Amino acid sequence: MIPNRVVVTGVGMTTPLGLDAASTWKGLLSGRSGVGPITSFDAEGYGTKFAAEVKGFDPNGLVGRKQARRMDRFVQLGAAATLEAVESADISITDENRNRVSVMIASGIGGIITLSDQIGVLGRRGPNRISPFLVPMMLPDMASGQVSMLLGAKGPNYSTVSACSSAADTIGQAFEAIRRGDVDVAFAGGSEAAICPIGVAGFNACHALSKRNDDPQRASRPFDADRDGFVLGEGGAVLALESLESAASRGAQPIAEITGYGSTADAHHITQPAPEGEGAARAMSNALAQAQAQPDEIGYINAHGTSTPMNDKYETMAVKSVFGEEAYKIPISSTKSMTGHLLGASGALEAVVTVMALSKWAIPPTINLETPDPDCDLDYTPYLPRRGRVRAAMSNSFGFGGHNASLVFQEFEE
């Protein structure tokens, strides 16, 4: 059986740079930071007092006040991104096709804001005052579940949880499901909203977050010698994936094609990447092999690039081990320098950015790269975007627990 070709026909984003894909893309190309002081709670006394928040988002206008109150913020953000992807792809979900339409929206953490709030209620008012919606609002699969209900999509529906690789793995699983012929269409991506007291305190406790409180917009500085941790972000991003046959049958013009997915485990440490990025390198190699792409065909890499000391060093080493001398010729950027780290949703946001780099003929920059690190000596596209045609690109995602996922997208050709 010849596998189906899988194309991207729509995208959606709700991010710290904008409430849709167009405004987010504009912010990325302009090198604008979405980071600022935390406004969702009083962060006085916390080691980190800033984050990359989504501003001006109104879930009531999206799904109605009653429904919005029964959704954690991560679900709301995921729903917004999916509805934009549906509109972007111009797909109608009907009785004739709904059993062949899948929704797969990942979250690494799930409804931690709801959980945190309700633990407060438990302490102040006792167990009888806990919301009956606590459990269904906090479950990590609820963005996927609630969005499938909004759309009436009855194909496979689940959320892959693999920390910061969650969304990339979910996109990979959706890709494989369409390749096999299990479904015709999949809305695949991720959403996350963990900017709350326990979320910030927890990441501070494991020394993961930047503490550059005096200059938040310059705190996320991937591959820079003075990087001191990542910046917590929130948001949602979704790709409309479709078999080429399905897209052609309705006259849709693909934005790009997804051709490769690689997933590996470090089996090394709960938070630290494997030495020299060994597991990450295998994920990249596996994705290239499935895509039947040679190293010199990749014209852009959207790096995981978290702005943490070990990740950036080892990702650089992994790229060198996979691409050899070609590594020095490939433009690389970490858009986390502007959006912060969306945790389980980061792979989806960066997959959409990678697709847009192919379709828009532009590579977003890495901002805040001021002091060269001898261990990070590749072309990280500092400060200014790079214009020009990109025929194939890779997006990398690596997570706590030793999860690694890489995706390869290519310019669509008939």
Gap between the Cα atoms of 113 and 388, Å rounded: 41
Mean pLDDT within 281-301: 98
Mean pLDDT within 389-413: 97
Q: Nearest CA to 97 among 238, 250, 244? A: 250
Mean pLDDT within 298-302: 98
Q: Is the alpha carbon torsion for 134, 234, 274, 226 positive or negative?
A: negative
**Of 164, 196, 376, 403, which is the active-site residue?**
164
Gap between the Cα atoms of 79 and 150, Å rounded: 8
pLDDT grade, residue 156 (50/70/90)?
very high
Specify the amino acid at residue 12: G
Give the pLDDT confidence score for residue 56 in this predicted structure: 96
Gap between the Cα atoms of 25 and 21, Å rounded: 6
Average pLDDT of the chain?
Answer: 97
pLDDT in tens, 202-230: 999 999 999 999 999 999 999 999 999 99
**Of 207, 268, 304, 376, which is the active-site residue?**
304
pLDDT grade, residue 181 (50/70/90)?
very high
Give the pLDDT confidence score for residue 93 in this predicted structure: 97
How many other CB atoms are found less than 10 A from the CB of residue 374? 7
Percent of the chain with pLDDT over 90: 98
Cα 319 to Cα 301, 306, 332, 366, 410, distances in angstroms: 9, 15, 10, 17, 19
Q: Where are the domains of the chain?
A: 6-249, 261-410
Task: Please give the structure tokens belonging to residue 170.
Answer: 């979910």
pTM given for the model? 0.97
pLDDT grade, residue 110 (50/70/90)?
very high
Asked whether the beta carbons of 395 and 407 are under 8 A apart, the reply is yes
DSSP 333-399: E-THHHH-B-GGGHHHHHHHHHHHHHHHTEE--B-S--SBBTTB-S---BSS-EES--SEEEEEEEE
pLDDT grade, residue 2 (50/70/90)?
confident
Gap between the Cα atoms of 22 and 211, Å rounded: 31
Give the pLDDT confidence score for residue 183 in this predicted structure: 98
Asked whether the beta carbons of 55 and 174 are under 8 A apart, the reply is no
Gap between the Cα atoms of 287 and 66, Å rounded: 43
Mean pLDDT within 317-333: 98
Asked whether the beta carbons of 79 and 147 are under 8 A apart, the reply is yes
On the question of pLDDT at 411 being above 90, the answer is yes
Q: Nearest CA to 79 among 109, 108, 99, 107? A: 107
Per the annotation, the verdict on 269 as an active-site residue is no
pLDDT grade, residue 257 (50/70/90)?
very high
Q: Do domains 6-249 and 261-410 have the same CATH topology?
A: yes
Give the pLDDT confidence score for residue 234 in this predicted structure: 98
**Of 196, 206, 268, 341, which is the active-site residue?**
341
Q: Nearest CA to 355 among 92, 7, 102? A: 7
Q: Which residue is associated with the tokens 């081990």?
A: 321
Which pairing describes strands 392-399 and 300-302: parallel, antiparallel, or unpaired?
A: parallel
Gap between the Cα atoms of 258 and 102, Å rounded: 17
**CA angle, 352 as apex, 109 and 59 as ends, to 5°?**
55
Helices 73-89 and 142-151, axial angle in degrees (round to 10)? 40
Give the pLDDT confidence score for residue 414 in this predicted structure: 84
Per the annotation, the verdict on 403 as an active-site residue is no
Q: What is the architecture of the domain spanning 6-249? A: 3-Layer(aba) Sandwich (3.40)
Gap between the Cα atoms of 237 and 187, Å rounded: 10
Q: Nearest CA to 7 among 317, 243, 230? A: 243
How many other CB atoms are found less than 10 A from the CB of residue 325? 9
Superfamily of domain 261-410 in the CATH hierarchy: Thiolase/Chalcone synthase (3.40.47.10)
Per the annotation, the verdict on 304 as an active-site residue is yes
Give the pLDDT confidence score for residue 1 in this predicted structure: 74
Task: Please give the structure tokens belonging to residue 263.
Answer: 């997933």
Q: Is the alpha carbon torsion for 357, 359, 361, 362 positive or negative?
A: negative
